[in-house]
Structure 1
Protein backbone atom coordinates (compact mmCIF):
# COMPACT_ATOMS: atom_id res chain seq x y z
CA UNK A 1 0.00 0.00 0.00
CA UNK A 2 1.06 3.58 -0.62
CA UNK A 3 2.07 5.37 2.61
CA UNK A 4 -0.14 8.17 3.87
CA UNK A 5 2.59 10.74 3.23
CA UNK A 6 2.31 9.94 -0.49
CA UNK A 7 -1.45 10.13 -0.74
CA UNK A 8 -2.07 13.16 1.46
CA UNK A 9 -4.11 15.73 -0.45
CA UNK A 10 -6.31 18.78 -0.08
CA UNK A 11 -9.94 18.86 -1.15
CA UNK A 12 -11.40 22.17 -2.28
CA UNK A 13 -15.14 22.47 -2.88
CA UNK A 14 -15.78 24.81 -5.82
CA UNK A 15 -19.28 26.30 -6.25
CA UNK A 16 -21.04 25.36 -9.47
CA UNK A 17 -22.54 28.85 -9.66
CA UNK A 18 -22.22 32.16 -7.87
CA UNK A 19 -23.78 32.14 -4.41
CA UNK A 20 -23.91 28.34 -4.06
CA UNK A 21 -23.97 27.25 -0.41
CA UNK A 22 -25.43 23.73 -0.33
CA UNK A 23 -23.23 20.65 -0.65
CA UNK A 24 -25.11 19.44 -3.73
CA UNK A 25 -24.15 22.68 -5.49
CA UNK A 26 -20.43 22.19 -4.86
CA UNK A 27 -17.88 20.45 -7.08
CA UNK A 28 -15.06 18.84 -5.04
CA UNK A 29 -11.60 19.11 -6.59
CA UNK A 30 -8.65 17.18 -5.15
CA UNK A 31 -5.28 18.95 -4.96
CA UNK A 32 -2.79 16.07 -5.03
CA UNK A 33 0.84 16.14 -3.97
CA UNK A 34 3.62 15.34 -6.43
CA UNK A 35 4.29 11.81 -5.15
CA UNK A 36 0.67 10.79 -5.54
CA UNK A 37 0.51 12.15 -9.09
CA UNK A 38 3.72 10.26 -9.86
CA UNK A 39 2.20 6.99 -8.63
CA UNK A 40 -1.09 7.38 -10.51
CA UNK A 41 0.58 8.63 -13.70
CA UNK A 42 2.99 5.68 -13.66
CA UNK A 43 0.11 3.24 -13.30
CA UNK A 44 -1.84 5.02 -16.04
CA UNK A 45 1.11 4.78 -18.46
CA UNK A 46 1.57 1.08 -17.69
CA UNK A 47 -2.12 0.35 -18.26
CA UNK A 48 -2.61 2.68 -21.25
CA UNK A 49 -2.61 -0.23 -23.71
CA UNK A 50 -4.85 -2.37 -21.51
CA UNK A 51 -7.79 -0.03 -20.92
CA UNK A 52 -8.93 0.15 -24.58
CA UNK A 53 -9.12 -3.66 -24.59
CA UNK A 54 -11.14 -4.07 -21.39
CA UNK A 55 -13.46 -1.05 -21.65
CA UNK A 56 -16.40 -1.70 -24.04
CA UNK A 57 -16.69 0.33 -27.23
CA UNK A 58 -19.85 1.98 -25.90
CA UNK A 59 -17.68 3.93 -23.43
CA UNK A 60 -15.47 6.51 -25.14
CA UNK A 61 -14.64 8.79 -22.21
CA UNK A 62 -10.90 9.52 -22.02
CA UNK A 63 -9.98 6.17 -23.59
CA UNK A 64 -6.99 6.47 -25.96
CA UNK A 65 -8.08 6.28 -29.59
CA UNK A 66 -11.76 7.02 -28.90
CA UNK A 67 -13.44 10.36 -29.54
CA UNK A 68 -16.69 11.96 -28.40
CA UNK A 69 -17.46 13.15 -31.92
CA UNK A 70 -18.13 9.52 -32.89
CA UNK A 71 -21.00 9.40 -30.39
CA UNK A 72 -22.39 12.72 -31.58
CA UNK A 73 -22.33 11.64 -35.22
CA UNK A 74 -23.95 8.32 -34.34
CA UNK A 75 -26.66 10.00 -32.26
CA UNK A 76 -27.57 12.29 -35.13
CA UNK A 77 -27.61 9.49 -37.72
CA UNK A 78 -29.63 7.28 -35.35
CA UNK A 79 -32.20 10.04 -34.86
CA UNK A 80 -32.59 10.56 -38.60
CA UNK A 81 -32.61 6.85 -39.48
CA UNK A 82 -35.63 5.77 -37.40
CA UNK A 83 -39.13 7.25 -37.80
CA UNK A 84 -39.93 6.28 -34.19
CA UNK A 85 -37.29 6.92 -31.58
CA UNK A 86 -36.74 7.75 -27.92
CA UNK A 87 -33.47 9.22 -26.73
CA UNK A 88 -32.79 9.63 -23.03
CA UNK A 89 -29.94 11.74 -21.63
CA UNK A 90 -29.06 10.31 -18.20
CA UNK A 91 -27.73 12.58 -15.46
CA UNK A 92 -26.05 11.19 -12.34
CA UNK A 93 -26.01 12.81 -8.92
CA UNK A 94 -22.37 13.75 -8.22
CA UNK A 95 -20.89 11.04 -10.41
CA UNK A 96 -17.18 10.91 -9.56
CA UNK A 97 -17.37 11.58 -5.83
CA UNK A 98 -20.19 9.08 -5.20
CA UNK A 99 -18.54 5.89 -6.50
CA UNK A 100 -18.28 3.37 -3.65
CA UNK A 101 -14.88 1.84 -2.89
CA UNK A 102 -16.21 -1.76 -2.83
CA UNK A 103 -17.63 -1.27 -6.34
CA UNK A 104 -14.36 0.23 -7.57
CA UNK A 105 -12.34 -2.64 -6.10
CA UNK A 106 -14.65 -5.31 -7.52
CA UNK A 107 -14.54 -3.64 -10.96
CA UNK A 108 -10.73 -3.55 -11.02
CA UNK A 109 -10.48 -7.19 -9.97
CA UNK A 110 -13.20 -8.19 -12.45
CA UNK A 111 -11.25 -6.85 -15.43
CA UNK A 112 -8.23 -8.87 -14.36
CA UNK A 113 -5.86 -6.30 -12.88
CA UNK A 114 -3.25 -7.83 -10.54
CA UNK A 115 -4.07 -7.75 -6.85
CA UNK A 116 -0.95 -5.65 -6.19
CA UNK A 117 -2.17 -2.96 -8.60
CA UNK A 118 -5.62 -2.96 -7.05
CA UNK A 119 -4.17 -2.67 -3.53
CA UNK A 120 -2.07 0.33 -4.52
CA UNK A 121 -4.97 2.01 -6.32
CA UNK A 122 -7.36 1.51 -3.43
CA UNK A 123 -4.81 2.87 -0.94
CA UNK A 124 -4.37 5.91 -3.17
CA UNK A 125 -8.12 6.49 -3.47
CA UNK A 126 -8.69 6.12 0.27
CA UNK A 127 -5.68 8.22 1.29
CA UNK A 128 -6.08 10.97 3.93
CA UNK A 129 -7.71 14.24 2.94
CA UNK A 130 -7.66 17.69 4.53
CA UNK A 131 -10.45 20.00 3.47
CA UNK A 132 -9.41 23.41 2.21
CA UNK A 133 -12.02 25.85 3.51
CA UNK A 134 -12.50 29.47 2.55
CA UNK A 135 -9.45 31.47 1.51
CA UNK A 136 -6.65 29.05 2.25
CA UNK A 137 -7.72 27.96 5.75
CA UNK A 138 -7.01 24.27 6.32
CA UNK A 139 -8.53 22.54 9.38
CA UNK A 140 -6.19 20.34 11.38
CA UNK A 141 -8.40 17.23 11.37
CA UNK A 142 -7.51 14.68 8.71
CA UNK A 143 -10.35 12.67 7.17
CA UNK A 144 -10.33 9.42 5.23
CA UNK A 145 -12.83 9.27 2.36
CA UNK A 146 -15.23 6.34 2.30
CA UNK A 147 -16.22 6.75 -1.34
CA UNK A 148 -15.45 8.76 -4.44
CA UNK A 149 -12.91 8.98 -7.24
CA UNK A 150 -10.89 12.15 -6.81
CA UNK A 151 -11.34 14.69 -9.58
CA UNK A 152 -7.94 16.15 -10.39
CA UNK A 153 -6.15 12.80 -10.53
CA UNK A 154 -4.95 11.84 -14.05
CA UNK A 155 -6.09 8.25 -13.52
CA UNK A 156 -9.57 9.06 -12.20
CA UNK A 157 -11.43 9.25 -15.56
CA UNK A 158 -10.23 5.78 -16.58
CA UNK A 159 -11.12 4.32 -13.17
CA UNK A 160 -14.62 5.71 -13.61
CA UNK A 161 -14.82 4.08 -17.04
CA UNK A 162 -13.92 0.72 -15.47
CA UNK A 163 -16.81 1.06 -13.00
CA UNK A 164 -19.26 1.66 -15.88
CA UNK A 165 -18.32 -1.68 -17.45
CA UNK A 166 -20.82 -3.41 -15.18
CA UNK A 167 -23.57 -1.01 -16.25
CA UNK A 168 -22.93 -1.65 -19.94
CA UNK A 169 -22.97 -5.42 -19.43
CA UNK A 170 -26.16 -5.16 -17.36
CA UNK A 171 -27.84 -3.22 -20.17
CA UNK A 172 -26.83 -5.86 -22.71
CA UNK A 173 -28.18 -8.69 -20.56
CA UNK A 174 -31.66 -7.15 -20.72
CA UNK A 175 -31.97 -8.08 -24.41
CA UNK A 176 -33.77 -4.83 -25.19
CA UNK A 177 -33.34 -2.80 -28.36
CA UNK A 178 -31.07 0.05 -27.29
CA UNK A 179 -27.96 1.85 -28.44
CA UNK A 180 -25.72 2.85 -25.52
CA UNK A 181 -23.58 5.96 -25.92
CA UNK A 182 -21.29 6.79 -22.98
CA UNK A 183 -18.64 9.42 -22.48
CA UNK A 184 -17.56 9.02 -18.83
CA UNK A 185 -20.73 9.87 -16.87
CA UNK A 186 -22.59 11.35 -19.87
CA UNK A 187 -25.01 8.68 -21.09
CA UNK A 188 -27.41 8.73 -24.03
CA UNK A 189 -29.79 5.81 -24.54
CA UNK A 190 -31.24 5.48 -28.06
CA UNK A 191 -34.35 3.27 -28.18
CA UNK A 192 -35.95 2.72 -31.62
CA UNK A 193 -39.33 1.08 -32.26
CA UNK A 194 -42.98 1.68 -31.50
CA UNK A 195 -43.87 3.77 -28.47
CA UNK A 196 -45.35 0.88 -26.45
CA UNK A 197 -42.23 -1.29 -26.75
CA UNK A 198 -39.99 1.74 -26.22
CA UNK A 199 -41.62 2.55 -22.89
CA UNK A 200 -41.31 -1.07 -21.76
CA UNK A 201 -37.62 -1.17 -22.71
CA UNK A 202 -36.99 2.19 -21.06
CA UNK A 203 -38.52 1.05 -17.77
CA UNK A 204 -36.27 -2.02 -17.80
CA UNK A 205 -33.23 0.18 -18.43
CA UNK A 206 -34.19 2.59 -15.64
CA UNK A 207 -34.63 -0.31 -13.21
CA UNK A 208 -31.20 -1.58 -14.23
CA UNK A 209 -29.76 1.88 -13.56
CA UNK A 210 -31.34 1.97 -10.12
CA UNK A 211 -29.91 -1.43 -9.17
CA UNK A 212 -26.50 -0.38 -10.45
CA UNK A 213 -26.77 2.85 -8.46
CA UNK A 214 -27.56 0.93 -5.26
CA UNK A 215 -24.23 -0.91 -5.43
CA UNK A 216 -22.04 1.70 -7.15
CA UNK A 217 -23.35 4.91 -5.59
CA UNK A 218 -24.09 6.34 -9.05
CA UNK A 219 -27.72 7.34 -8.63
CA UNK A 220 -29.79 8.87 -11.42
CA UNK A 221 -30.81 12.49 -10.98
CA UNK A 222 -34.34 12.27 -12.38
CA UNK A 223 -34.82 16.04 -12.10
CA UNK A 224 -32.13 16.55 -14.75
CA UNK A 225 -32.74 13.41 -16.81
CA UNK A 226 -34.77 14.12 -19.96
CA UNK A 227 -36.08 12.28 -23.00
CA UNK A 228 -36.91 13.34 -26.53
CA UNK A 229 -39.54 11.39 -28.48
CA UNK A 230 -39.94 11.03 -32.24
CA UNK A 231 -43.28 9.62 -33.44
CA UNK A 232 -44.09 8.96 -37.10
CA UNK A 233 -47.87 8.61 -36.62
CA UNK A 234 -49.38 12.13 -36.72
CA UNK A 235 -52.46 10.91 -34.81
CA UNK A 236 -50.42 9.91 -31.76
CA UNK A 237 -49.97 12.86 -29.38
CA UNK A 238 -46.56 13.75 -28.01
CA UNK A 239 -46.30 12.38 -24.45
CA UNK A 240 -45.25 14.62 -21.57
CA UNK A 241 -43.35 11.78 -19.91
CA UNK A 242 -42.17 8.25 -20.77
CA UNK A 243 -41.23 5.71 -18.15
CA UNK A 244 -41.20 8.41 -15.51
CA UNK A 245 -38.79 10.59 -17.55
CA UNK A 246 -39.83 14.12 -18.55
CA UNK A 247 -40.08 14.64 -22.32
CA UNK A 248 -38.58 17.76 -23.93
CA UNK A 249 -38.30 18.90 -27.57
CA UNK A 250 -34.59 18.06 -27.44
CA UNK A 251 -31.88 16.74 -25.13
CA UNK A 252 -28.36 18.01 -24.62
CA UNK A 253 -25.57 15.48 -24.99
CA UNK A 254 -21.86 16.34 -24.86
CA UNK A 255 -22.67 19.99 -25.43
CA UNK A 256 -24.73 19.37 -28.59
CA UNK A 257 -28.50 19.34 -29.00
CA UNK A 258 -30.30 16.26 -30.33
CA UNK A 259 -33.99 16.08 -31.16
CA UNK A 260 -36.77 17.93 -32.95
CA UNK A 261 -34.65 20.92 -33.93
CA UNK A 262 -33.62 22.82 -37.01
CA UNK A 263 -29.94 23.30 -37.80
CA UNK A 264 -30.21 26.94 -36.74
CA UNK A 265 -31.64 25.91 -33.36
CA UNK A 266 -28.81 23.41 -32.85
CA UNK A 267 -26.28 26.18 -33.40
CA UNK A 268 -28.08 28.81 -31.29
CA UNK A 269 -26.55 27.99 -27.86
CA UNK A 270 -23.13 27.47 -29.44
CA UNK A 271 -23.24 30.83 -31.21
CA UNK A 272 -24.39 32.55 -28.01
CA UNK A 273 -21.44 31.11 -26.09
CA UNK A 274 -19.02 32.05 -28.87
CA UNK A 275 -20.38 35.61 -28.99
CA UNK A 276 -19.94 35.98 -25.23
CA UNK A 277 -16.33 34.85 -25.47
CA UNK A 278 -15.72 37.02 -28.53
CA UNK A 279 -16.89 40.09 -26.61
CA UNK A 280 -14.53 39.18 -23.78
CA UNK A 281 -11.65 38.99 -26.25
CA UNK A 282 -12.64 42.34 -27.78
CA UNK A 283 -12.63 43.99 -24.34
CA UNK A 284 -8.99 43.09 -23.70
CA UNK A 285 -6.14 45.43 -24.55
CA UNK A 286 -4.53 43.20 -27.14
CA UNK A 287 -3.07 43.52 -30.57
CA UNK A 288 -4.53 41.94 -33.68
CA UNK A 289 -2.26 38.90 -33.52
CA UNK A 290 -3.13 38.22 -29.86
CA UNK A 291 -6.86 38.55 -30.56
CA UNK A 292 -6.57 36.17 -33.50
CA UNK A 293 -4.73 33.64 -31.33
CA UNK A 294 -7.37 33.83 -28.59
CA UNK A 295 -10.13 33.43 -31.15
CA UNK A 296 -8.50 30.34 -32.64
CA UNK A 297 -7.68 28.73 -29.28
CA UNK A 298 -10.61 29.77 -27.07
CA UNK A 299 -13.59 30.95 -29.14
CA UNK A 300 -13.56 28.84 -32.30
CA UNK A 301 -13.26 25.40 -30.60
CA UNK A 302 -16.72 25.90 -29.08
CA UNK A 303 -18.33 25.20 -32.45
CA UNK A 304 -16.14 22.34 -33.63
CA UNK A 305 -18.23 19.42 -32.36
CA UNK A 306 -21.53 20.89 -33.52
CA UNK A 307 -20.06 21.76 -36.92
CA UNK A 308 -18.94 18.16 -37.42
CA UNK A 309 -22.38 16.85 -36.51
CA UNK A 310 -24.47 19.45 -38.38
CA UNK A 311 -23.41 21.16 -41.61
CA UNK A 312 -23.76 24.93 -41.04
CA UNK A 313 -26.26 26.85 -43.13
CA UNK A 314 -25.44 30.14 -44.87
CA UNK A 315 -27.08 32.02 -41.99
CA UNK A 316 -24.91 30.19 -39.45
CA UNK A 317 -21.78 30.94 -41.47
CA UNK A 318 -22.79 34.60 -41.56
CA UNK A 319 -23.15 34.56 -37.76
CA UNK A 320 -19.72 32.95 -37.41
CA UNK A 321 -18.21 35.67 -39.59
CA UNK A 322 -19.82 38.31 -37.40
CA UNK A 323 -18.50 36.67 -34.22
CA UNK A 324 -15.03 36.57 -35.74
CA UNK A 325 -15.19 40.29 -36.45
CA UNK A 326 -16.44 41.00 -32.91
CA UNK A 327 -13.45 39.15 -31.43
CA UNK A 328 -11.04 41.11 -33.63
CA UNK A 329 -12.90 44.36 -32.86
CA UNK A 330 -13.48 44.90 -36.59
CA UNK A 331 -17.27 45.09 -36.56
CA UNK A 332 -17.36 48.45 -38.33
CA UNK A 333 -15.08 47.36 -41.14
CA UNK A 334 -17.48 44.78 -42.58
CA UNK A 335 -14.63 42.40 -43.30
CA UNK A 336 -15.42 38.86 -44.34
CA UNK A 337 -13.73 35.59 -43.46
CA UNK A 338 -12.08 35.24 -46.91
CA UNK A 339 -10.41 38.64 -46.50
CA UNK A 340 -9.25 37.81 -42.98
CA UNK A 341 -7.87 34.51 -44.24
CA UNK A 342 -5.80 36.10 -47.01
CA UNK A 343 -2.06 36.33 -46.32
CA UNK A 344 -0.63 39.73 -45.48
CA UNK A 345 1.15 39.87 -48.84
CA UNK A 346 -2.25 39.81 -50.57
CA UNK A 347 -3.87 42.48 -48.44
CA UNK A 348 -5.41 40.25 -45.75
CA UNK A 349 -4.59 39.64 -42.11
CA UNK A 350 -3.37 36.07 -42.47
CA UNK A 351 -5.75 34.84 -39.78
Structure 2
Protein backbone atom coordinates (compact mmCIF):
# COMPACT_ATOMS: atom_id res chain seq x y z
CA UNK A 1 0.00 0.00 0.00
CA UNK A 2 1.28 3.47 -0.90
CA UNK A 3 1.28 6.23 1.70
CA UNK A 4 -0.21 8.43 -1.05
CA UNK A 5 -3.15 6.08 -1.76
CA UNK A 6 -5.68 8.65 -0.51
CA UNK A 7 -5.16 10.88 -3.56
CA UNK A 8 -5.21 8.08 -6.18
CA UNK A 9 -8.77 8.66 -7.38
CA UNK A 10 -8.86 12.47 -7.20
CA UNK A 11 -5.36 13.22 -8.46
CA UNK A 12 -4.11 10.21 -10.46
CA UNK A 13 -1.26 12.13 -12.10
CA UNK A 14 0.11 13.36 -8.76
CA UNK A 15 -0.38 9.89 -7.29
CA UNK A 16 1.77 8.30 -10.01
CA UNK A 17 4.57 10.85 -9.43
CA UNK A 18 4.40 10.40 -5.65
CA UNK A 19 4.39 6.61 -5.96
CA UNK A 20 7.45 6.69 -8.21
CA UNK A 21 9.22 8.97 -5.74
CA UNK A 22 8.32 6.54 -2.96
CA UNK A 23 9.33 3.44 -4.95
CA UNK A 24 12.75 4.81 -5.97
CA UNK A 25 13.84 6.28 -2.64
CA UNK A 26 16.33 3.44 -2.04
CA UNK A 27 17.22 2.35 -5.57
CA UNK A 28 17.56 5.72 -7.32
CA UNK A 29 17.56 8.76 -5.02
CA UNK A 30 18.01 11.26 -7.85
CA UNK A 31 14.98 9.89 -9.70
CA UNK A 32 13.00 9.80 -6.47
CA UNK A 33 13.70 13.47 -5.79
CA UNK A 34 12.96 14.43 -9.40
CA UNK A 35 9.54 12.77 -9.20
CA UNK A 36 8.90 14.43 -5.83
CA UNK A 37 9.73 17.82 -7.32
CA UNK A 38 7.43 17.17 -10.30
CA UNK A 39 4.66 16.23 -7.88
CA UNK A 40 5.14 19.47 -5.94
CA UNK A 41 5.05 21.45 -9.19
CA UNK A 42 1.74 19.77 -10.06
CA UNK A 43 0.34 20.43 -6.58
CA UNK A 44 1.15 24.13 -6.85
CA UNK A 45 -0.26 24.39 -10.37
CA UNK A 46 -3.57 22.92 -9.18
CA UNK A 47 -3.66 25.07 -6.05
CA UNK A 48 -3.11 28.26 -8.04
CA UNK A 49 -3.77 27.67 -11.76
CA UNK A 50 -3.61 31.41 -12.52
CA UNK A 51 -0.15 31.93 -11.04
CA UNK A 52 2.27 33.87 -13.24
CA UNK A 53 5.33 32.86 -11.19
CA UNK A 54 7.89 30.85 -13.14
CA UNK A 55 9.86 29.17 -10.34
CA UNK A 56 9.03 27.05 -7.34
CA UNK A 57 10.36 29.47 -4.75
CA UNK A 58 8.09 32.30 -5.90
CA UNK A 59 5.13 29.97 -6.41
CA UNK A 60 5.38 28.81 -2.79
CA UNK A 61 5.97 32.37 -1.60
CA UNK A 62 2.86 33.56 -3.45
CA UNK A 63 0.72 31.08 -1.46
CA UNK A 64 1.74 32.51 1.91
CA UNK A 65 -1.83 33.63 2.61
CA UNK A 66 -3.14 30.12 1.99
CA UNK A 67 -0.52 28.19 3.94
CA UNK A 68 0.42 27.99 7.58
CA UNK A 69 4.05 28.44 8.57
CA UNK A 70 4.53 24.68 8.86
CA UNK A 71 2.98 24.11 5.42
CA UNK A 72 5.31 26.68 3.89
CA UNK A 73 8.20 24.97 5.66
CA UNK A 74 7.19 21.59 4.22
CA UNK A 75 7.07 22.93 0.68
CA UNK A 76 10.37 24.75 0.94
CA UNK A 77 12.00 21.69 2.51
CA UNK A 78 10.83 19.56 -0.41
CA UNK A 79 11.92 22.20 -2.94
CA UNK A 80 15.39 22.56 -1.42
CA UNK A 81 16.08 18.83 -1.10
CA UNK A 82 14.85 18.04 -4.60
CA UNK A 83 17.00 20.88 -5.98
CA UNK A 84 20.07 19.33 -4.37
CA UNK A 85 19.44 16.00 -6.09
CA UNK A 86 18.59 17.60 -9.43
CA UNK A 87 21.88 19.52 -9.34
CA UNK A 88 23.95 16.46 -8.53
CA UNK A 89 24.46 16.98 -4.79
CA UNK A 90 24.38 13.98 -2.49
CA UNK A 91 21.12 13.56 -0.58
CA UNK A 92 21.10 11.01 2.24
CA UNK A 93 18.34 8.45 2.63
CA UNK A 94 17.29 10.22 5.83
CA UNK A 95 16.80 13.49 3.92
CA UNK A 96 14.86 11.61 1.22
CA UNK A 97 12.50 10.36 3.94
CA UNK A 98 12.19 13.97 5.14
CA UNK A 99 11.32 15.09 1.61
CA UNK A 100 8.72 12.36 1.17
CA UNK A 101 7.13 13.30 4.49
CA UNK A 102 6.97 16.91 3.28
CA UNK A 103 5.44 15.70 0.01
CA UNK A 104 2.80 13.72 1.91
CA UNK A 105 1.83 16.78 3.96
CA UNK A 106 1.76 18.94 0.82
CA UNK A 107 -0.65 16.44 -0.73
CA UNK A 108 -2.75 16.64 2.43
CA UNK A 109 -2.76 20.42 2.17
CA UNK A 110 -4.12 20.23 -1.39
CA UNK A 111 -6.60 17.44 -0.72
CA UNK A 112 -8.07 18.48 2.61
CA UNK A 113 -7.46 22.21 2.95
CA UNK A 114 -7.50 23.63 -0.58
CA UNK A 115 -10.11 21.34 -2.18
CA UNK A 116 -12.02 20.50 1.02
CA UNK A 117 -12.14 16.75 0.44
CA UNK A 118 -12.31 14.10 3.15
CA UNK A 119 -11.31 10.50 3.73
CA UNK A 120 -10.98 8.14 6.73
CA UNK A 121 -7.70 8.03 8.58
CA UNK A 122 -7.57 4.28 7.88
CA UNK A 123 -6.48 5.07 4.31
CA UNK A 124 -3.09 6.14 5.69
CA UNK A 125 -0.23 3.95 6.81
CA UNK A 126 -0.15 3.53 10.61
CA UNK A 127 3.18 5.39 10.85
CA UNK A 128 1.68 8.42 9.05
CA UNK A 129 -1.56 8.74 10.96
CA UNK A 130 -0.27 11.03 13.70
CA UNK A 131 1.02 13.66 11.25
CA UNK A 132 -2.02 13.59 8.93
CA UNK A 133 -4.65 13.49 11.69
CA UNK A 134 -4.97 17.32 11.98
CA UNK A 135 -5.94 17.44 8.28
CA UNK A 136 -8.44 14.58 8.62
CA UNK A 137 -9.94 16.25 11.69
CA UNK A 138 -10.26 19.50 9.75
CA UNK A 139 -12.21 17.71 7.01
CA UNK A 140 -14.47 15.96 9.53
CA UNK A 141 -15.15 19.25 11.31
CA UNK A 142 -15.98 21.00 8.02
CA UNK A 143 -18.47 18.26 7.08
CA UNK A 144 -20.14 17.72 10.46
CA UNK A 145 -19.55 21.04 12.18
CA UNK A 146 -17.76 19.34 15.07
CA UNK A 147 -14.60 17.33 15.59
CA UNK A 148 -15.83 13.74 15.61
CA UNK A 149 -13.78 10.72 16.62
CA UNK A 150 -11.42 9.49 13.92
CA UNK A 151 -11.46 5.85 15.07
CA UNK A 152 -12.69 3.66 12.20
CA UNK A 153 -11.81 0.12 13.24
CA UNK A 154 -14.31 -0.34 16.10
CA UNK A 155 -17.58 1.08 17.36
CA UNK A 156 -17.53 4.59 18.79
CA UNK A 157 -20.01 7.15 19.95
CA UNK A 158 -20.43 9.54 16.97
CA UNK A 159 -21.17 12.40 19.37
CA UNK A 160 -17.75 12.11 20.99
CA UNK A 161 -14.74 13.93 19.63
CA UNK A 162 -11.03 13.46 20.08
CA UNK A 163 -9.33 16.50 21.61
CA UNK A 164 -6.08 14.81 22.64
CA UNK A 165 -4.04 16.96 20.28
CA UNK A 166 -5.40 20.15 21.82
CA UNK A 167 -4.62 18.88 25.28
CA UNK A 168 -1.06 18.03 24.31
CA UNK A 169 -0.54 21.48 22.84
CA UNK A 170 -1.95 23.20 25.93
CA UNK A 171 0.20 21.14 28.27
CA UNK A 172 3.43 21.89 26.47
CA UNK A 173 5.40 24.87 27.76
CA UNK A 174 6.47 27.14 24.94
CA UNK A 175 10.19 27.90 25.35
CA UNK A 176 9.54 31.53 24.43
CA UNK A 177 7.17 32.04 27.36
CA UNK A 178 8.47 33.50 30.60
CA UNK A 179 8.67 30.97 33.39
CA UNK A 180 6.98 31.98 36.63
CA UNK A 181 10.28 31.48 38.48
CA UNK A 182 12.30 33.71 36.13
CA UNK A 183 13.12 37.31 36.88
CA UNK A 184 12.79 39.81 34.05
CA UNK A 185 16.58 39.97 33.74
CA UNK A 186 16.90 36.17 33.60
CA UNK A 187 14.16 35.98 30.99
CA UNK A 188 15.77 38.63 28.78
CA UNK A 189 19.17 36.95 29.04
CA UNK A 190 17.79 33.48 28.25
CA UNK A 191 15.96 34.69 25.15
CA UNK A 192 18.97 36.66 23.94
CA UNK A 193 21.24 33.62 24.32
CA UNK A 194 18.94 31.31 22.36
CA UNK A 195 20.22 30.13 18.98
CA UNK A 196 18.82 32.07 16.02
CA UNK A 197 15.34 31.01 14.99
CA UNK A 198 13.92 30.55 11.51
CA UNK A 199 12.59 33.79 10.09
CA UNK A 200 11.86 32.33 6.68
CA UNK A 201 13.59 31.11 3.54
CA UNK A 202 15.87 32.86 1.08
CA UNK A 203 17.59 32.15 -2.23
CA UNK A 204 20.38 34.00 -4.01
CA UNK A 205 21.37 33.39 -7.61
CA UNK A 206 25.11 34.13 -7.36
CA UNK A 207 25.20 35.07 -11.05
CA UNK A 208 23.16 38.13 -10.12
CA UNK A 209 25.73 39.33 -7.54
CA UNK A 210 27.00 42.82 -8.32
CA UNK A 211 30.52 42.30 -9.70
CA UNK A 212 31.90 45.49 -8.10
CA UNK A 213 30.32 45.64 -4.65
CA UNK A 214 29.70 41.86 -4.34
CA UNK A 215 26.24 42.73 -2.96
CA UNK A 216 23.30 40.41 -3.56
CA UNK A 217 19.61 40.69 -2.73
CA UNK A 218 17.95 37.37 -1.91
CA UNK A 219 14.40 36.55 -2.83
CA UNK A 220 12.75 35.64 0.44
CA UNK A 221 9.67 34.22 2.07
CA UNK A 222 9.05 35.13 5.71
CA UNK A 223 7.08 33.09 8.22
CA UNK A 224 4.85 34.54 10.94
CA UNK A 225 4.98 33.78 14.64
CA UNK A 226 2.30 35.39 16.77
CA UNK A 227 4.53 35.27 19.84
CA UNK A 228 7.26 37.37 18.23
CA UNK A 229 7.01 41.00 17.12
CA UNK A 230 8.34 41.51 13.60
CA UNK A 231 8.50 44.18 10.95
CA UNK A 232 7.44 44.54 7.34
CA UNK A 233 10.88 43.90 5.84
CA UNK A 234 11.28 45.43 2.39
CA UNK A 235 14.47 43.61 1.36
CA UNK A 236 17.60 41.85 2.57
CA UNK A 237 21.09 42.45 1.27
CA UNK A 238 24.27 40.45 1.80
CA UNK A 239 27.87 40.76 0.65
CA UNK A 240 29.30 37.62 -0.97
CA UNK A 241 33.01 38.12 -0.35
CA UNK A 242 34.29 35.01 -2.13
CA UNK A 243 33.34 34.13 -5.67
CA UNK A 244 31.38 30.91 -5.88
CA UNK A 245 29.31 29.04 -8.42
CA UNK A 246 26.96 27.67 -5.77
CA UNK A 247 23.71 29.48 -5.20
CA UNK A 248 22.57 30.26 -1.66
CA UNK A 249 19.32 28.43 -1.00
CA UNK A 250 18.37 27.96 2.61
CA UNK A 251 16.90 29.34 5.79
CA UNK A 252 16.95 32.93 7.00
CA UNK A 253 17.80 32.85 10.71
CA UNK A 254 17.46 35.73 13.16
CA UNK A 255 18.31 36.33 16.80
CA UNK A 256 15.71 37.25 19.42
CA UNK A 257 15.58 39.86 22.14
CA UNK A 258 13.12 41.03 24.79
CA UNK A 259 12.09 44.67 24.77
CA UNK A 260 9.48 46.08 27.14
CA UNK A 261 8.46 42.56 28.10
CA UNK A 262 7.80 41.44 24.51
CA UNK A 263 9.88 39.13 22.31
CA UNK A 264 11.17 40.83 19.18
CA UNK A 265 13.22 39.73 16.19
CA UNK A 266 16.70 41.23 16.55
CA UNK A 267 17.35 42.31 12.98
CA UNK A 268 20.93 43.29 13.77
CA UNK A 269 21.76 39.57 13.65
CA UNK A 270 20.34 37.90 10.54
CA UNK A 271 21.98 35.20 8.43
CA UNK A 272 21.12 33.14 5.36
CA UNK A 273 22.21 29.58 6.15
CA UNK A 274 22.68 27.43 3.07
CA UNK A 275 24.23 24.06 3.86
CA UNK A 276 27.44 24.88 5.73
CA UNK A 277 27.53 28.47 4.43
CA UNK A 278 26.30 31.33 6.59
CA UNK A 279 25.88 34.71 4.90
CA UNK A 280 25.21 37.72 7.18
CA UNK A 281 22.27 39.78 5.93
CA UNK A 282 21.12 43.32 6.51
CA UNK A 283 17.36 43.77 6.80
CA UNK A 284 16.09 46.83 4.95
CA UNK A 285 13.12 48.53 6.57
CA UNK A 286 11.79 52.01 5.99
CA UNK A 287 11.14 52.89 9.66
CA UNK A 288 12.94 52.32 12.96
CA UNK A 289 12.40 48.83 14.31
CA UNK A 290 10.02 48.76 17.27
CA UNK A 291 12.85 48.13 19.74
CA UNK A 292 14.99 51.00 18.44
CA UNK A 293 15.01 54.45 20.01
CA UNK A 294 16.22 57.88 18.94
CA UNK A 295 19.41 57.24 20.91
CA UNK A 296 20.34 54.52 18.41
CA UNK A 297 20.67 57.21 15.74
CA UNK A 298 22.67 60.22 16.99
CA UNK A 299 22.44 61.82 13.56
CA UNK A 300 18.74 62.48 14.00
CA UNK A 301 19.29 65.27 16.58
CA UNK A 302 17.12 63.39 19.06
CA UNK A 303 14.02 63.32 16.88
CA UNK A 304 12.48 60.75 14.60
CA UNK A 305 11.08 62.51 11.56
CA UNK A 306 9.51 61.38 8.33
CA UNK A 307 9.90 57.67 7.52
CA UNK A 308 11.84 58.58 4.38
CA UNK A 309 14.73 59.60 6.62
CA UNK A 310 15.10 55.96 7.58
CA UNK A 311 15.27 54.51 4.08
CA UNK A 312 18.51 52.55 3.79
Given the two structures, how large is their TM-score scaled by the length of structure 1?
A: 0.26
